[in-house]
C-alpha cells in the first residue's frame, strides 16, 4: 500500500486505526462484540500491523529533504506501541466497556437472582475496564491528549542513521522524533473527522516548547487535556 487512500478505502478506518479500542472488538458506533458473555478480543498483531502500515506512509510524508531521508533509519518498538494503544484504550474506553458489559449481562441473564452476583464479578474485573475517563463519549481533544500522553511516556518511535556524508533532519526533530512522529501520525488519523491539531503552524512554539515538554514528560494527561484545545485555538487565531 503506497497511499492512505489505498490502505483505508473507508476514511474512518484511518481514524479507528489509532482511536479504536485496540483490545476488544466493536463496530463504528462503539457497539462491542460479545462471545459467550465475554468481550471478543482483537488480534493484537493485526492492530499493530495496521498502525505500522499507516506509519510507513506517514513517514514518507514528513517534510525531510531526500538526502536527509536517505540517511534516516526509523525504528519502531512494537511492544511499546502495543502498550500505547492498550493504555489509551483502557483510559478512554474503560467506562464504555463496563456499560456495554452490564447491558449485555441484562440481555443474557435478565433481572434474576444471579444478577447481583454477576455484577460483583464484573466489578472484580475492573482492571480491564478502567475508570480514568468517566464518560461513554469523551470529546476528541480528550482522546487526543491521552494518546499523545502515552506516546510520550512509552516512546515507541526512534530515529537511527546510516553512515554517510548526507544532511540530517533538524536537530530538534532528531531529539524529539518520537513526539514529532506521534503528533504527525495522530493528525493524519484525525483528518476523517475534519479535526487537526494546528500547533505545528507556529513552528517555534511547536519545536521548542510543545515537543520539548512532551518529550521530557512535563505535560501530564490532565494538563494536556486542559491546554491542548486552548493552544490550538490561539494558534488558529494568530494564523487567520
pLDDT at 108: 75
pLDDT given for residue 140 in this prediction: 86
Residue 44 has a pLDDT of 96
Q: Which three cell numbers stand for residue 20?
A: 479504536
* pLDDT score for 2: 80
Sign of CA dihedral 196, 137, 179, 13: negative
Q: What is the 3-state secondary structure (H, E, C) of 101-169?
A: HHHHHHHHHCCCCCHHHHHHHHHHCHHHCCCCCCCCCCCHHHHHHHHHHHHHHHCCEEEEECCCCCCCC
Q: What is the pLDDT of residue 104?
A: 86
Residues paired with 34 in a beta bridge: 39
CB-based contacts of 115-121 (< 8 A; 24+ apart in sequence)? none
- Collect all residues with Cβ–Cβ distance below 8 Å to 93 and sequence separation of at least 6: 21, 24, 30, 130
Q: What is the pTM of this model?
A: 0.88
| Tally of CB atoms within 10 A around 74 | 15
The pLDDT score that the predictor gives to residue 128 is: 58
pLDDT tens digits in sequence order for the chain, 240 residues long = 689 999 999 999 999 999 999 999 999 999 999 998 899 999 999 999 999 999 999 999 998 888 888 899 999 999 999 999 999 999 999 888 888 888 888 777 766 656 666 666 666 565 555 555 555 566 888 899 999 999 999 999 999 998 877 788 999 999 999 999 999 999 999 999 888 898 999 999 999 999 999 999 777 888 888 888 888 877 766 654
Amino acid at each position: 500500500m503506497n497511499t492512505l487512500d489505498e490502505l483505508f478505502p473507508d476514511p474512518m478506518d484511518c481514524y479507528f486505526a489509532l482511536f479504536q479500542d485496540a483490545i476488544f472488538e466493536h463496530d463504528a458506533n462503539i457497539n462491542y462484540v460479545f462471545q459467550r458473555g465475554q468481550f471478543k478480543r482483537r488480534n493484537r498483531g493485526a492492530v499493530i500491523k495496521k498502525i505500522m502500515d499507516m506509519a510507513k506512509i506517514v513517514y514518507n510524508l514528513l517534510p525531510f529533504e531526500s538526502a536527509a531521508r536517505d540517511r534516516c533509519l526509523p525504528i519502531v518498538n512494537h511492544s511499546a506501541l502495543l502498550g500505547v494503544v492498550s493504555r489509551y484504550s483502557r483510559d478512554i474506553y474503560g467506562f464504555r466497556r463496563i456499560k456495554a458489559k452490564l447491558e449485555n449481562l441484562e440481555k443474557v441473564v435478565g433481572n434474576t437472582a444471579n444478577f447481583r452476583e454477576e455484577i460483583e464479578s464484573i466489578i472484580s474485573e475492573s482492571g480491564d475496564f478502567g475508570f480514568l475517563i468517566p464518560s461513554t463519549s469523551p470529546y476528541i481533544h480528550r482522546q487526543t491528549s491521552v494518546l499523545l500522553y502515552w506516546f510520550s511516556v512509552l516512546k515507541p518511535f526512534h530515529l537511527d542513521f546510516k553512515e554517510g556524508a548526507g544532511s540530517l533532519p533538524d536537530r530538534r526533530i532528531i531529539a524529539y522524533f518520537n513526539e514529532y512522529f506521534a503528533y504527525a501520525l495522530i493528525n493524519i488519523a484525525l483528518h476523517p473527522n475534519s479535526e487537526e491539531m494546528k500547533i505545528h503552524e507556529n513552528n517555534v512554539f511547536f519545536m521548542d516548547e510543545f515537543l520539548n515538554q512532551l518529550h521530557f514528560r512535563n505535560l501530564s494527561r490532565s494538563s494536556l487535556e486542559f491546554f491542548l484545545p486552548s493552544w490550538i485555538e490561539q494558534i488558529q487565531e494568530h494564523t487567520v
